[in-house]
A and B are shown apart, each in its own frame.
Chain A
Amino acid sequence: MKKFICLAIALVLALGAMAGCASKAPASTGPKVIKVGIVNNPPSESGYREANVKDFESVFTAANGYEVQTYYSLKNDEQLNAAKQFITGKVDYLLISAAATDGWDSVLQDAKNAGIKVFLFDRMLNTSADLYEAAVVSDMAKEGETAVSWLKAQNLGTYKVIHIQGAMGSDAQIGRTGALDAEFASGAMTKITQQTATWDEATAKQIVEAVINSGEDFNVIYAENDGMAKGAVSALDEAGITHGVGKDVVVMGFDCNRWALRELLAGNWNYDGQCSPFQAKVISDMIKSLESGGSIAQKKVISEEKGFDATTITQADIDTYGLGE
């Protein structure tokens, strides 16, 4: 029994240490400190989230006049609890990137009653528009449209596409699949295969291998993130199929990881679509404008997202827009 108790205590301590607390020391100086509570997903979720968290950490600083409390969780109920605590703690602004789109109505109503202004970032919430000040979000469907219109502009003659999807049902998968599905349906492009690799590089490689082994012809790989594009390319390399600018197969990825953009610069890939994790500056500007008595011009701000073409990308683009390493 003693062993069990020791074990339990050790576990609790270990988990506590791992979970960590992301609270910041309060800023003591300055004329007016703006108290901000941020509810986000943990940086370990993805390269996107890592950049997103860093972006907020760099903008919402004591030097910029903010006192910030942050809470990270992948679980909606934990996020809701954190939001309630921020409301009880009387923050001035509440910034939310929700794990799930539903279930936020009552918390947002509480915030409104307490006079706390709410901003949504990265992800929309399924709630009434008067419960938040503004939303700064990505439009995944637009990312897909940008990519597909770039592809159409390449004038390949025939389009025989291997489409590698992300985890089925995720925002990014649905958005990035939509535009391409429309092309398949209209007959403008031919679907050689459409398969989910659930964001996994090695699975993407196996899917492309299966197509190569079947002897079918293809000239486009449309992978819904960079990792899967990398997996697909390694299958091409092993089969001796050339890819990139002016080669046999056009390679397209998403997310703009720095290593992926370098592949573009080297001409090994053709296109990479951006999913902007940078919303902090826009929100901070809005808050400053509200604080100085102004108003917010736009209720819903869609982050401006680019698509990079291997023939025009520069090292400066990689430095500015690349995520991770």
Chain B
Amino acid sequence: MPKTLRRPSVSLSHLIVPLLALLVIVIFNVIHDPSFFSVSLVVNNSGNTVLSGNLVSILNGASELAILAMGMTIVTAASGGQDISVGAGAAIAGSVFVKVIKSGNSSLGLILFAFLACCLAIMLFGAFNGALVAIFKIQPMIATLILFTAGRSIAYWVNGGATPTVSGDLLGYLGGFFPGMPVPTPVFIVIATGALFALALKFTNLRLYVQAVGINSTSSRLNGINTTWIKLLSFIILAACVAIAGVIRVCRLGLINHETILLDIEMDAILAVAIGGNALSGGKFSLAGSVIGAYVIQALTTTLYALKVPSNAVKSYKAIVIIALVAVGSPVIKKLLVKARDSFLLKRKAAGGAS
């Protein structure tokens, strides 16, 4: 009797839960309101013809979350823990961006410079987090608790004002639509970020090293991998994602409210990683899963708004769906499913052998 049965490839089985979740939300919405996913062309108030509809809202609205989820996946895989300071970090990044933009006339050059400046600033904070985790071996959630607590105050201090505003055509294009382009710009930024990750994972040893460190840090070190550097690097990569997300959010509305910008996004980002079928204890990871997880969360939010769930109850509804999702993806349920499948296959095999 064969002791092991061939399992489906790991990455595909990881994607089953998030894809299923997405499918359930889609089917639910189509039944509830057949026109939910209809997309139409409208002329917006600046005279551009743009796409409009719930599908566009979901794709557009999930942009920041999708980008953060990618970075969070790398940190999770390498360190076996999560960074809970991404929301506060985005407040700092956004504030630095606004500070630099306000010093000039929001030309393309200045925007690029502002982006680089905020990237650099938040990467320093990311390196601080990473150093606490990689060098001082502090648990990631505790290490990032420091920035989680202090980040929004630092963001306030950067601009010294409550809701500084910036304006400029180019900023508006970045957060909304480029003239003549019917798809929102943040969607393209997600695609570009995803492509960068894909290239880095394909042409460097990043995936191998990150997974090795996440699975067994000691043996990775004994095999010559610089585990400290890999963990540090994962936090710096996440910091770059935080900078992109913060800048998108600032460009969307041309202002930064350091107290509310991307508030509680860390929980959604961690959730996206979990829904994506990644182990929160580190090791093997799937970026695609996390990104799909991000869209699942945004689709859920948009659905709840469309259903006009009362304000007081939104979080409870979200919680119920999430509990269901996480339960379906839990190892115990998965094991039961695999067992059921195995016994089914064995029975069939036995039946086949007998005949």
User: For residues 216 through 260 of chain A, which have their beta carbon under 8 Å from a beta carbon of chain B?
Assistant: 226-227, 230-231, 234, 236-242, 257, 259
Residues of A contacting B150 in the complex (Cβ-Cβ under 8 angstroms): 15, 18
Our pick among B50, B162, B306 for the contact of A238 (Cβ within 8 Å) is B50
Which of A32-40, A106-114, A189-197, A310-318 makes up part of the contact surface?
A: A189-197
In the complex the two chains form, is A202's CB within 8 Å of B253's CB?
A: yes
Our pick among A48, A198, A212, A259 for the contact of B52 (Cβ within 8 Å) is A212
Instruction: For the complex formed, measure the closest distance between the CB of B185 and the CB atoms of chain A, giving whole angstroms.
Output: 12
Residue A50 lies at the interface, judged by CB distance under 8 Å to chain B: yes
Question: Total contacts A to B, CB within 8 angstroms?
Answer: 128
Instruction: For the complex formed, measure the closest distance between the CB of A129 and the CB atoms of chain B, giving whole angstroms.
Output: 32
Residues of B contacting A242 in the complex (Cβ-Cβ under 8 angstroms): 45
User: For residues 154 through 197 of chain A, which have their beta carbon under 8 Å from a beta carbon of chain B?
Assistant: 165, 168, 193-196
- A212–B306 Cα gap in the complex (Å)? 10
In the complex the two chains form, is A210's CB within 8 Å of B253's CB?
A: no
Known: A168-B312, A238-B44, A238-B177. A214 touches B57 (CB 8 A): no
In the complex the two chains form, is B311's CB within 8 Å of A194's CB?
A: yes
In the complex the two chains form, is B257's CB within 8 Å of A234's CB?
A: no
Residue A295 lies at the interface, judged by CB distance under 8 Å to chain B: no
Q: Is the interface of A mostly helix, strand, loop or mixed?
A: helix
Residue of A nearest to B135 (CB): A3
Residues of B contacting A231 in the complex (Cβ-Cβ under 8 angstroms): 253
User: For residues 276 through 318 of chain B, which have their beta carbon under 8 Å from a beta carbon of chain A?
Assistant: 301-302, 305-306, 308, 310-312, 314
Our pick among B46, B135, B306, B314 for the contact of A237 (Cβ within 8 Å) is B46
In the complex the two chains form, is A238's CB within 8 Å of B176's CB?
A: yes
In the complex the two chains form, is A210's CB within 8 Å of B255's CB?
A: no
In the complex the two chains form, is B314's CB within 8 Å of A196's CB?
A: yes
Our pick among B45, B146, B153, B261 for the contact of A240 (Cβ within 8 Å) is B45
In the complex the two chains form, is B260's CB within 8 Å of A200's CB?
A: yes
Instruction: For the complex formed, measure the closest distance between the CB of A155 and the CB atoms of chain B, giving whole angstroms.
Output: 26
In the complex the two chains form, is A324's CB within 8 Å of B257's CB?
A: no
In the complex the two chains form, is A324's CB within 8 Å of B162's CB?
A: yes
Residue of B nearest to A42 (CB): B153
Residue B11 lies at the interface, judged by CB distance under 8 Å to chain A: no
Residues of A contacting B259 in the complex (Cβ-Cβ under 8 angstroms): 44-46, 199
In the complex the two chains form, is B44's CB within 8 Å of A7's CB?
A: no
Known: A18-B153, A210-B306, A238-B44. A165 touches B257 (CB 8 A): no
- A323–B57 Cα gap in the complex (Å)? 32
Residue A9 lies at the interface, judged by CB distance under 8 Å to chain B: no
In the complex the two chains form, is A259's CB within 8 Å of B50's CB?
A: no
- A214–B162 Cα gap in the complex (Å)? 34
In the complex the two chains form, is B44's CB within 8 Å of A325's CB?
A: no
- A7–B135 Cα gap in the complex (Å)? 11
Instruction: For the complex formed, measure the closest distance between the CB of A84 and the CB atoms of chain B, giving whole angstroms.
Output: 25
Instruction: For the complex formed, measure the closest distance between the CB of A140 and the CB atoms of chain B, giving whole angstroms.
Output: 17
- A242–B57 Cα gap in the complex (Å)? 19
Instruction: For the complex formed, measure the closest distance between the CB of B41 and the CB atoms of chain A, giving whole angstroms.
Output: 10
In the complex the two chains form, is B46's CB within 8 Å of A324's CB?
A: no
Our pick among A46, A165, A202, A214 for the contact of B311 (Cβ within 8 Å) is A165
A-contact 0/1 string along B217-255, CB 8 Å cutoff: 000000000000000000000000000000001001101
In the complex the two chains form, is A227's CB within 8 Å of B163's CB?
A: yes
Ranked 7 nearest A-B pairs via Cβ: A47-B162, A210-B305, A44-B156, A196-B311, A237-B45, A200-B260, A213-B54
Q: Can you name 8 extra interface pairs (CB under 8 A) apart from A15-B150, A198-B263? A: A3-B136, A44-B157, A165-B311, A195-B314, A227-B260, A240-B42, A257-B163, A324-B161
12 A/B residue pairs, CB under 8 Å, sorted by A: A4-B136, A18-B153, A44-B153, A47-B162, A196-B311, A200-B263, A206-B57, A210-B306, A215-B35, A238-B45, A238-B177, A324-B162
